[in-house]
Structure 1
Amino acid sequence: MLPVRLDRTRPEPLPAQLAAAVRALVTDGTLNTGDRLPSSRALAADLGVARAVVEQAYDQLLAEAWVSTRHGAGTFVASGETLPTQPRAPRPAAQAPRYIHLDAGTPWIDPRHLAGWRRAWREVSTATPPRGYPDPGGLAELREALAERLARTRGLTVGPDEILLTSGSTDALRQLLGVLGPGGVLVEDPGYRAAVETIRVSGRDVVDHPALAPVTDLTGCAAAYVTPAHQHPLGRVMPAADRLALLAAARAAGAVVVEDDYDSEFRYDVAPVPALAALDRTCVAYVGTASKSVSPSLRLGWLVAPPEVHERLLHRRAITHDTPPWASQRALLTLLRDGWVDKVVRTARRVYADRAPRVAAALEPHAKLAGPLAGMYSTWHTSPEQAAAARAAARAAGFDVRLLEQYCRTADLSGLVLGFGGVTDAELDRALAAVVSGLRGEEPRKR
């Protein structure tokens, strides 16, 4: 008899249940090609159903070519040539381990502020979107709000019409590279990996420059990409003399300095350092982002380019419509108008000011701090062996920590880049314990 059970409480008719059960027995190998099935009378008696139930099921399987009949001999599992093609049951792909990422770019957003975030998106749902394609510069009201904010927080006095809204800092860099003249792009080494990849994808050469050395010559370069307020990832503030040398080199070469001001609002030791663009608007393209103050998922940023570059960008954007989504812009406008962004930044600054010393206290006995404590991450010099052991211990505990060498191209540096923004206090404590155990050379403990 067949290992089949029918359930009268199920909504499927009994013939359909029996046909499905026979199919399953064939596909899992219980029944093989040529095997004889029980007669309809015998199987009906065994299952306690009417003979018509079995006959209907067999007729269905015959119509689908799962079985065949031989006159006077009975019903058999069809041969391999006539069995219907059956897709193999997909095997679940092996899932990569899930880690809590201690990266340098995920901010802390206090859960108490989520109501303001939701309110902003409710306003988006009731606002009237623009007719046709949006303004190539971006939402005018948002540019007005950003102009006020840049003057207040970064010492950068610009008009709304001088601001272009972008889909983040790398999008701003990509658009800039599309309108600049020929030449490579000088990039700090170690430096921001996404910027390096953006430059390479644009077809331009990446010109490595030691991150802590002054830039005195930009001959042959179309641009220099720098992070002067908080060098990414070493953390240093670019000295005044180096700023002036960089501007002089840009003027001499006719190059544009791309200033990525990614987290300047999160100084908690001193007041935020003024923007480099405030010294010379003619050769500096200022790039800002909402990813560190609001959310990386918003994918919004802003660009203040030198006047001639701005006009070229505006002309191209009017043709390509290369602007961020109107809905995201409208949400950020509400968040700025309601004071939500200022509130979130103040809260996050206090959290980072508390966490940075805790990280330092844990790591200083085993590693050397690369720069001043600021922002939502800190970078630590260690031996390559220590860095690898610390990362392995962190991953064993469920956390992912970046290696300093991942930010290097020609620079020979090793260590850890440890973010503390996108985690809870309890998660940070567990991660630090794991990292320290790795730095000490202890065996990783599985989570």
Structure 2
Amino acid sequence: MLPVTLDRTSDEPLPAQLAGQIRSLVLSGTLASGDRLPSSRALAADLGVSRAVSEQAYDQLTAEGWLEARRGSGTYVTTTRPPGVTPPHFAPSLPRSARATGVTPRPTRPTSRLDTGTPFFDPRLEPGWRRAWREVSVAAPPRGYDDPRGLVELREALATRLGRTRGLEVGPDEVIVTAGTTDGLRALLPELRPGPVAVEDPGYRAAAETVLSYGREVVDLPAVRQVDDLGDAVAAYVTPAHQHPLGRVMPAADRLSLLEAARRADAVVIEDDYDSEFRYDVAPVPAMATLDRDRVVYLGTAAKSVVPTLRLGWLVAPPGLHELILRRRTITHAGAAWPSQRALLTLLRDGWLDRAVRSARRVYAERAPKVAEAMSPYATLAGPLAGMYSTWLLPESEARRARDAARVAGFEINLLSTYARSSGLTGLVIGFGGVTDAELDQALTAVTGALAR
């Protein structure tokens, strides 16, 4: 029997409690790689809960890479805690230059973007959106420069949300409100010691460009392989919950390996948690920062759950870096716009953001299989179906032909090669958040028609 105890009076669901305690058993060394766990039926009987509770917990941990199910054999631990990892308390995303293609196809209708950054906005939520801005209009703004950490009420709400949705237990004074993810990165980079920064390849183009703009070298970090050595890099920028743009979830073993590599290099891991809330199959994977608060800088954003133009994000850094970042922001009067902060506070307080996430998740869960059904005969899916886009591997010539056909039909679709530097991966990155169902159907018809030819 596993040494776990479930609290039926807690607000945290029983499957989440069970998954969190099994993670802790692995990280504490109580469970080691290769250990066989009780069957879901036996564990449920031991704990006096329904079998669905243990099955959901096992499914969640399997999706995260802590466990694996072996047909006819059982469920086994796949990851062992390396030396130096302290068990956490788990709480209840530079383009390579595009090659010339000759004449650019002319669209036959106004262009709609099927990109990775435009979320679905439910029109039924418009009254709540307008109400938030009406409150901004009657609220008294600060007399002078605002707190460089951000509105205290907003930081309190964000700290509560991080604990509830990402398993990251922080206080409001540990949160710094930023003007988006890249603003958080710009706040961090000057406080790191001299040296290059490793960025996933393929990876988030804005992150690589931001690193270069600060005069630092970008080191390519393989996005699909375990990282055991960071060399002389002083930081590693990763998107572990949903790798941008391949969609891969970083397995538990890879997370622990990267943290160990960062410790050996005395480097920090920069976790961009850009769309972790949009999983369809299991609960969102806990933030990597829960594994090592002293080594991970956490970056979050409202761009994918609200709208990108709100230009708001949040940063949680280890104490030493937190103080350096805050001191510089105080001197430079850096900070996120007060009206946007005030509006987001209302959206959080009224439960609007939770409703927006649930609504978008339902839409993405319906659209992702539609894209998969259309693309599967012609290309290979790069990662699990999650988030507001999916990435498809196919030769560059075919990807360009499909991209050009979509452009003629009035749709802009990104090439995977524009996210890659040295990996050489090619294909299409198809977003489905910022278009209607009809537009998505039209775009897929254009793409698959080109690939079929």
Distance 1:313 1:179 in 2: 7
Q: Deviations over 1:240-262 (max 9, x none)?
A: 11100111111111111000000
Query: AA paired with 1:386?
Result: E
Assess if the C-alpha contact under 8 Å between 2:380 and 2:394 holds in 1: yes
Distance 2:399 2:215 in 1: 33
Q: Deviations over 1:170-204 (max 9, x none)?
A: 11111100111111100110000010110110110
Residue equivalent to 1:425: 437
Distance 1:99 1:178 in 2: 39
Higher radius of gyration, 1 or 2: 1
How far 1:215 moved relative to its partner?
A: 1.5
The TM-score normalised by the length of structure 2 is 0.76
Query: AA paired with 2:179?
Result: S
The aligned runs of 1:345-424 (5 Å cut-off) are 345-424=357-436
Match of 1:252 among 239, 242, 264: 264
The aligned runs of 1:71-150 (5 Å cut-off) are 98-150=110-162
What is the number of residues matched between the two proteins? 348
The TM-score normalised by the length of structure 1 is 0.77
SS in 1 for 2:423: coil
Distance 1:204 1:216 in 2: 22
Assess if the C-alpha contact under 8 Å between 2:272 and 2:298 holds in 1: yes
Query: AA paired with 1:286?
Result: Y
1:223 paired to 2:235: yes
Q: Which moved more, 1:350-359 or 1:381-390?
A: 381-390
Query: AA paired with 1:117?
Result: W
How far 1:97 moved relative to its partner?
A: 7.9
How far 1:236 moved relative to its partner?
A: 0.6
SS in 2 for 1:421: coil
1:240 paired to 2:252: yes
Assess if the C-alpha contact under 8 Å between 2:107 and 2:407 holds in 1: no
Distance 1:115 1:399 in 2: 30
Distance 1:256 1:139 in 2: 27
Match of 1:181 among 184, 193, 197: 193
Query: AA paired with 2:163?
Result: A
Query: AA paired with 2:241?
Result: A
Query: AA paired with 1:184?
Result: P
Query: AA paired with 1:261?
Result: D
Distance 2:108 2:153 in 1: 44
Assess if the C-alpha contact under 8 Å between 2:107 and 2:408 holds in 1: no
Distance 1:153 1:290 in 2: 14
Identity of aligned residues (%): 68
Q: Deviations over 1:85-131 (max 9, x none)?
A: xxxxxxxxx99984100001100011111111110000001001112
Residue equivalent to 2:286: 274
Match of 1:160 among 172, 179, 182: 172
SS in 2 for 1:328: helix
How far 1:386 moved relative to its partner?
A: 1.0
Residue equivalent to 1:53: none
SS in 2 for 1:170: helix
Q: Which runs of 4+ in 1 moved over 6 A?
A: 94-97
Query: AA paired with 2:256?
Result: L
Query: AA paired with 2:121?
Result: I
Distance 1:351 1:183 in 2: 43
Query: AA paired with 1:235?
Result: G
| Structure 2 runs not aligned, ≥5 long | 1-105
Residue equivalent to 1:40: none
Residue equivalent to 2:313: 301
Q: Which moved more, 1:94-103 or 1:184-193?
A: 94-103
How far 1:383 moved relative to its partner?
A: 1.2
How far 1:219 moved relative to its partner?
A: 2.9
Match of 2:277 among 253, 265, 287: 265
Match of 1:315 among 317, 327, 336: 327
Q: Deviations over 1:125-183 (max 9, x none)?
A: 10011121000100000000000000000000000000000010011111100111111
| Structure 1 runs not aligned, ≥5 long | 1-93, 442-447
Residue equivalent to 2:60: none
Residue equivalent to 1:62: none
Distance 1:317 1:174 in 2: 11
Distance 2:117 2:282 in 1: 21
Q: Deviations over 1:376-434 (max 9, x none)?
A: 00000111121011001100100000000000001111100000000011111101101
SS in 2 for 1:178: helix
More relative contact order, 1 or 2 (CA 8 Å, 6+ apart): 2
Distance 2:193 2:302 in 1: 28
Residue equivalent to 1:196: 208
Q: Deviations over 1:293-315 (max 9, x none)?
A: 00001000000011100000011
SS in 2 for 1:344: helix
